């Protein structure tokens, strides 16, 4: 029996979209009992759209690409409408039962046979300007996130008076250690050798804090980090080494020392900046405590981070000019927007138009932890930070009752959440400055650490590691995840074995199959927690990945050339082992 309530499609968003100027991608969700699906499609002006008794003249094509999701199946097919517009419906088969699915509901085979078609789904026109185009370079990029204050102190002359001695230990957000832009510049050869091709730098602009998410001046590099010339030099030297640079834009809120906010605190409603913020009553003073009393809105009730009103044109214009300044002055390649889901959609659309005019392949990334389809239609962000992917990984590796089938379904759900061109540039990560460190999540277990990294580097999207991941740096939740990089110990070779294995995984991204969207989960091993999948890339390139999370050794005969192995010998993969080979 076909469960009609499980069948769903709409002619928009990730269910139906133009992949490029020729191909229309069509996806359909059904229940697990559906065995076969066909799509009937044709041009609207050749399929009875004008009324009367015109016969259906479209094509009928079986949808063969099928993915298992939690409680559902996902069917997907590319079609090429000859005239850039498409009218279509679906045919579903389960056992002896067959139904036809139209926009207005379900119809029997007899209805369709008699020409009694329902209201078809329609994609009106594949306008080139409306097609979601994402930067191609991001698909091949391996990102490295740097928290500048804790990465490397390269210039002690700009250290604050209260700077502490550099050291690898627990820290607080009130501590300063002198990390700066010169330090990042000096480590560019190290990063290039590691295989990094993209830098994501958390905020650089003037702020009283170590994290800089409470900006004082959006047009001034924080003096503790350097100056405008240092930043220009950093980007140029990074570009010379084939490394792109992405900055962090904090436009949802500012710091309490931001001059417009200070003006408002002094003058109240008479300030020309009063409408820049979301003040609910006046007088409105800063006081010890949060903003839960509602006197004004702020980031996460943080009193010293007042929320900016991006519905206000003057605010939008100010930040558009700010980003223009960053691009024209520093030649940056991308921008990550902090708390992107609270910024107005209008500002996001204007930001995209402006940045793409200045630099057509500019990368716009939003920090959104939940489903982000409203921001990913092609007129706002190119991608978001893929926290749902990280959650799917954690769910499998830290819950032993989960099976490889559960992981397969979770990965498939991530692959079909957005348009394909978006998925290819999603910012995949396993930890960040906002989470506990990956090795901390594993309880110090390097087997779990490397298994998850192996999946990170062989999934579609753009992988990112947080500074120090290459040495399995420790750290719990914020602020402990922001420890100083232990450069002295690195120079002594204390982490050489871990770093070499991470470098091997990073090198996997040079394999076309590693970046491919085409993934097939194999069922060759009977163990519930031995994960095996094959990635297929351009010109038939293939990668096989085997991850033994079963708790006991398993057979894993190689079929090609081994590119990465951990815990593998003579056809046996030990518990916690990893095998990646080119087929």
Residue numbers annotated as active site: 338, 367
Cβ-Cβ contacts under 8 Å for 226 (sequence gap 6 or more): 155, 158, 180, 181, 182
- Which tokens belong to 455? 């999946």
d(CA 508, CA 142): 10
Nearest to 138 by CA among 195, 203, 197: 197
* CA atoms within a 13 Å half-sphere pointing along the CA-CB vector of 210: 24
Contact 502, 470 (CB under 8 A): yes
Cβ-Cβ contacts under 8 Å for 104 (sequence gap 6 or more): 118, 119
Q: How many CB atoms lie within 10 A of CB 101?
A: 23
Please report the DSSP string for 489-515 in residue order: HHHTTTTHHHHHHHHHHHHGGGSHHHH
d(CA 454, CA 314): 46
Q: What share of the chain is helix, strand, coil (3-state, %, to 5)?
A: 30, 25, 45
Please report the DSSP string for 222-279 in residue order: -TTT--HHHHHHHHHHHHHTT-EEEEEE--SB--TT-HHHHHHHHHGGGSTTGGGB-B
Q: SS3 of 364, please?
A: strand
d(CA 58, CA 38): 12
d(CA 139, CA 427): 10
Cβ-Cβ contacts under 8 Å for 499 (sequence gap 6 or more): 194, 470, 471, 490
Cβ-Cβ contacts under 8 Å for 87 (sequence gap 6 or more): 41, 42, 43, 44, 47, 49, 58, 120, 121, 122
Regarding beta strands 143-146 and 97-102, do their DSSP bridges make them parallel or antiparallel, or are they unpaired? unpaired
Residue 168: DSSP 8-state: S
């Amino acid at each position: 029996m076909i469960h009609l309530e499980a069948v769903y499609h709409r002619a928009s968003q990730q269910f139906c979209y133009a992949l490029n100027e020729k191909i229309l991608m069509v996806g359909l969700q059904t229940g697990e009992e559906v065995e076969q699906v066909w799509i009937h499609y044709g041009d609207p002006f050749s399929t009875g759209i004008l009324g009367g008794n015109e016969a259906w003249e479209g094509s009928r094509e079986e949808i063969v690409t099928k993915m298992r999701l939690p409680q559902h199946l996902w069917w997907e097919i590319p079609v090429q409408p000859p005239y850039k517009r498409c009218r279509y419906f679906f045919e579903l088969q389960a056992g002896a039962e067959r139904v036809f699915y139209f926009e207005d509901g379900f119809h029997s085979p007899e209805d369709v046979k008699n020409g009694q078609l329902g209201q078809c789904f329609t994609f009106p026109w594949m306008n080139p300007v409306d097609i979601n185009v994402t930067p191609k370079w991001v698909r091949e990029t391996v990102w490295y996130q740097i928290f500048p204050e804790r990465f490397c102190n390269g210039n002690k002359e700009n250290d604050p008076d209260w700077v502490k001695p550099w050291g690898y230990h627990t820290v607080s957000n009130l501590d300063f250690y002198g990390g700066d832009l010169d330090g990042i510049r000096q480590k560019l050869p190290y990063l290039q050798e590691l295989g990094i091709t993209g830098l994501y730098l958390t905020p650089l602009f003037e702020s009283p804090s170590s994290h800089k998410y409470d900006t004082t001046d959006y047009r001034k590099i924080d003096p503790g980090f350097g100056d405008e010339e240092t930043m220009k030099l950093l980007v140029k030297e990074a570009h010379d080494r084939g490394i792109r640079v992405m900055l962090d834009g904090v436009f949802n809120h500012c710091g309490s020392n931001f001059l417009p906010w200070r003006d408002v605190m002094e003058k109240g409603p008479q300030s020309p900046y009063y409408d820049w913020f979301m003040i609910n009553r006046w007088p409105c003073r800063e006081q010890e405590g949060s903003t839960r009393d509602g006197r004004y809105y702020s980031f996460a009730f943080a009193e010293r981070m007042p929320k900016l009103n991006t519905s206000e044109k003057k605010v939008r214009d100010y930040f558009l000019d700010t980003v223009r300044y960053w691009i024209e002055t520093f030649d940056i390649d991308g921008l990550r927007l902090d708390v992107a889901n609270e910024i107005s959609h209008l500002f996001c659309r204007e930001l995209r138009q402006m940045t793409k005019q200045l630099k057509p392949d500019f990368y716009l990334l939003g920090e959104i932890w939940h489903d982000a389809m409203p921001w990913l239609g092609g007129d706002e962000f190119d991608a978001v930070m893929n926290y749902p992917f990280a959650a799917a990984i954690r769910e499998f590796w830290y819950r032993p009752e989960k099976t490889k089938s559960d992981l397969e379904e979770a990965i498939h759900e991530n692959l079909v959440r957005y348009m394909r061109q978006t998925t290819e540039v999603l910012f995949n990560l396993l930890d960040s400055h906002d989470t506990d460190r990956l090795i901390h999540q594993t309880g110090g277990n390097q087997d779990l650490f490397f298994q998850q990294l192996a999946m990170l580097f062989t999934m579609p999207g753009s992988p990112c590691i947080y500074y120090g991941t290459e040495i399995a740096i420790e750290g719990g939740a914020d602020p402990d995840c922001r420890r100083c990089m232990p450069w002295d110990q690195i120079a002594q070779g204390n982490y050489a074995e871990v770093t070499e294995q991470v470098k091997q995984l990073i090198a996997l991204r040079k394999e076309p199959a590693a970046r491919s969207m085409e993934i097939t989960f194999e069922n060759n091993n009977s163990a519930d927690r031995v994960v095996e999948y094959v990635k297929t890339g351009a010109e038939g390139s293939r990668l096989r990945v085997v991850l033994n999370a079963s708790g006991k050794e398993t057979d894993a005969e190689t079929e090609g050339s081994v590119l990465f192995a951990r815990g593998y010998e003579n056809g046996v993969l030990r518990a916690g082992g990893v095998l990646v080979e080119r087929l």
